[in-house]
Amino acid sequence: MERQYLSQREVDPGAEFTRNHTISEGTRFKRAVFEGQYCRRFGCCADRDDGCVTQFYEADALCYCDKFCERENSDCCPDYKSFCREEKGWPPRTKPWSPEGCHRDGQHYEEGSVIKENCNSCTCSGQQWKCSQHVCLVQPGLIEHVNKGDYGWTAQNYSQFWGMTLEEGFKYRLGTLPPSPLLLSMNEVTASLTKTTDLPEFFIASYKWPGWTHGPLDQKNCAASWAFSTASVAADRIAIQSQGRYTANLSPQNLISCCAKKRHGCNSGSVDRAWWYLRKRGLVSHACYPLFKDQNATNNGCAMASRSDGRGKRHATTPCPNSIEKSNRIYQCSPPYRVSSNETEIMREIMQNGPVQAIMQVHEDFFNYKTGIYRHITSTNEDSEKYRKFRTHAVKLTGWGTLRGAQGQKEKFWVCNTFQLNSCCEVSILESSVSLLPVLYSLVIS
């Protein structure tokens, strides 16, 4: 361990002689002396010059080439006496005296050090930081741009997204494949609600059916919005259709682990296949089959089995993975139907039958949404295509609303659960700012 010595040199008590790396005025670290070229390389300094310093690698310390280092407890560089005491005069100092390595936020790093700067890795090389150039999921400049502008919504830095690249956000925090041709070719069905029924300017499903709808679960880094949204919409519909007799939230983990055909688990999946599984095999409750803490574990295979009674109804043949939960009841639904993409028809469907599932395009700024009515804001780096990307994501539409914009115009928005932001929040999305493909399923309790 390095020892610290007080300087024996007499100094003016009123003078400010405190050096960097000292504990009091006039204090320096005592350094061992080794051979090497230090002052010869950088030059010498007269009197006291605390900037006349370089890295002394052999001792893992700093050494000096100014006249102040000539005292009993010397911290001179090894070649100070042989070079700086020559009568020929000192050469002008032409190179910086900062120690080799790099600095960041007031801290010195040795050559070859690697630090993490958000989603990028930076390596100290040749006294400079050389950093990777990934686009980060959290972009402080974009957050500031949104919050300073009059866009109708505010942005936030979510700690769970810090350190992730934009590509990682798309890969791990979304998780729905684009609609299949089969899904797009389905006939649209309109709600039976009469055309003369007035639609309110504001509607939330949980207000009409308190206790019968379910808040979003946090999918974390499991790209399975195809499973989370399907299970949540189905649970709401079953509770509403049964008039509150069955209110269990359904298990997305049941879908992730057991819906095998064309299934990618936490690496995206299709909503049509999810609904096929719910109709043919059914799901147990979230309490029975909770989310795995580690979705990448090797033992995350399907933990539920069932058999048919010959009439289409299936019964579980294994107990719940969660041994505390005793009910392993399986919930199924009838064949699905697609709702018209007309906004009025979507509203009628939600108001009559409950929340619906939709597929939307998610852009890079959506991961920073906090409050307000979201609309896509072009990145501040408009010249780079790598900042302007989007992927598809399945959400649950739970209602709608209308607010006055900054110019006094009415702005309509959807209220939805997204499953990839904070699990406690709902998101308001401007109708004209996103592409939605509503997908509805008629549920029969069995």
Statement: the pTM of the whole predicted model exceeds 0.85: no
The parts of the chain modelled with pLDDT lower than 50 are 1-34, 383, 422-424, 442-446
- Taking 3-state DSSP, the helix, strand and coil percentages for the chain, each rounded to the nearest 5, stand at 20, 25, 55
Is residue 282 within 8 Å of residue 445, measured between CB atoms? no
| Start-to-end CA span in the chain (Å) | 74
Per-residue model confidence (pLDDT) at position 335: 77
Is residue 401 within 8 Å of residue 201, measured between CB atoms? yes
Per-residue model confidence (pLDDT) at position 67: 83
Distance CA 376, CA 362 (A): 9
Domains of the chain: 4-84 (no CATH), 102-131 (no CATH), 142-441 (3.90.70.10)
Per-residue model confidence (pLDDT) at position 61: 76
Per-residue model confidence (pLDDT) at position 228: 94
Distance CA 124, CA 111 (A): 5
Strands 410-417 and 427-430: antiparallel
Is residue 252 within 8 Å of residue 175, measured between CB atoms? no
Per-residue model confidence (pLDDT) at position 246: 94
Per-residue model confidence (pLDDT) at position 90: 58
Distance CA 237, CA 178 (A): 24
